[in-house]
Amino acid sequence: MRTVGKASARLLAWAVLFCCVGSVAIAQEPSGNLAETWVIHTKAGQEAEFEQAFQTHLEVRKGKGDPRAWHTWVPVTGADIGAYVVRSCCSAWKDMDGYRDWSLQAEIVVDWNQNVHQYVERYEHYFGEVDFENSHWSGDGVPNYVGLTALYPKMGTAQTVAQHVTAFSTAAREMEWPYEWAWIQTIGGEGELVLVTPYADFAAMEPPEKTFVQALSEKMGAVATGQMFAAWADNFEKTRYTIYRFRADMSLMPDE
């Protein structure tokens, strides 16, 4: 599904990274639906030093048997150009304790503080819960780009938003909508709902000949579709759209 939003000013989970799914492999069987994302803002003029130190740190993690895959994404639109979004997905809440224990035993934070932190201006940290039931994602590799539409719900609209997400996703499947998508609920920050769509390249971002609205109108009628989208839009204070590029050279992949 494609939606229209304003240029994004920042990423949020998954965001929290590159969510999904930029790193989400929905075809796999993760232990849970929890994604963890770190947004790293480097000091001005020290991007090259940060990247070199970061890549070395990944080798340390790999050598110590990091049980997680970490995918790094960088925004190509919006106000946070130069930020790095580092994301891991997916695990369960109970897995967080074991991973914390591993990182302490392996002294991962010690290595980071000694060799990478000096190039960082500030951090952001988020969790995100992936809605596998209403997502449609092959999990076949990591896309080169993802588009993230962040939607900021009004107070008291959670139930209505959930109903709309299910309705839109069900309709997309019934129409055999040929594109992939994933929904992620951010935990932390402003608590936005994120819609993620993958792209192989910029050419793939060209709007389809038949839009989702047009396809849905053919299925349920133009009036009903218009009313459905109007009711959907009324749930949100604002929306923001950001495109992210995958950085394989700054990622820790499970098969490495």
**180-195 pLDDT tens trace:** 999 999 999 899 999 9
Say what the alpha-carbon torsion angle 87, 130, 10, 245 is, to the nearest 10 degrees.
Answer: 50
Phi then psi for residue 133, to 5 deg, are -60, -35
**55-73 pLDDT tens trace:** 999 999 999 999 999 999 9
- Please indicate, yes or no, if residue 51 is contained in any of the structural domains: yes
- Please indicate, yes or no, if residue 1 is contained in any of the structural domains: no
- CB atoms closer than 10 angstroms to residue 67: 12
Instruction: Check whether the bond before 89 is cis (ω within 30° of 0).
Output: no
Q: What residue has token string 């050279």?
A: 249
On average, the pLDDT of the chain sits at 88
88 and 69 Cβ atoms separated by less than 8 Å: yes
Q: What residue has token string 């993760």?
A: 30
- Please indicate, yes or no, if residue 202 is contained in any of the structural domains: yes
**pLDDT band for position 12 (50/70/90)?**
very low
**pLDDT band for position 24 (50/70/90)?**
very low
Say what the alpha-carbon torsion angle 134, 138, 144, 147 is, to the nearest 10 degrees.
Answer: -10
SS3 content of the chain, % helix, strand, coil (to 5): 35, 30, 35
What pLDDT does 255 receive? 63
Q: What residue has token string 């896309």?
A: 143
Contacts of 100 (CB under 8 A, 6+ apart): none
Sort strands 6-7 and 236-252 into parallel, antiparallel or unpaired: parallel
SS3 for 58? helix
185 and 128 Cβ atoms separated by less than 8 Å: yes
CATH number, residue 68: 3.30.70.100
What pLDDT does 140 receive? 73
Q: pTM (2 decimals)?
A: 0.86
- Please indicate, yes or no, if residue 28 is contained in any of the structural domains: yes
Q: Is the pLDDT of residue 160 over 50?
A: yes
Phi then psi for residue 247, to 5 deg, are -110, 90
Q: Which domain holds residue 33?
A: 6-252
- CB atoms closer than 10 angstroms to residue 98: 11
Amino acid at 140: D
The total number of structural domains in the chain stands at: 1
Q: Which of 39, 4, 30, 56 is nearest to 130 (CA)?
A: 30
**Cross-strand partners of 70:** 252
Residues in the chain: 256
Distance of CA 48 to the CA centre of its chain: 24
CA distances from 180 to 2, 56, 165, 193 (A): 10, 34, 14, 17
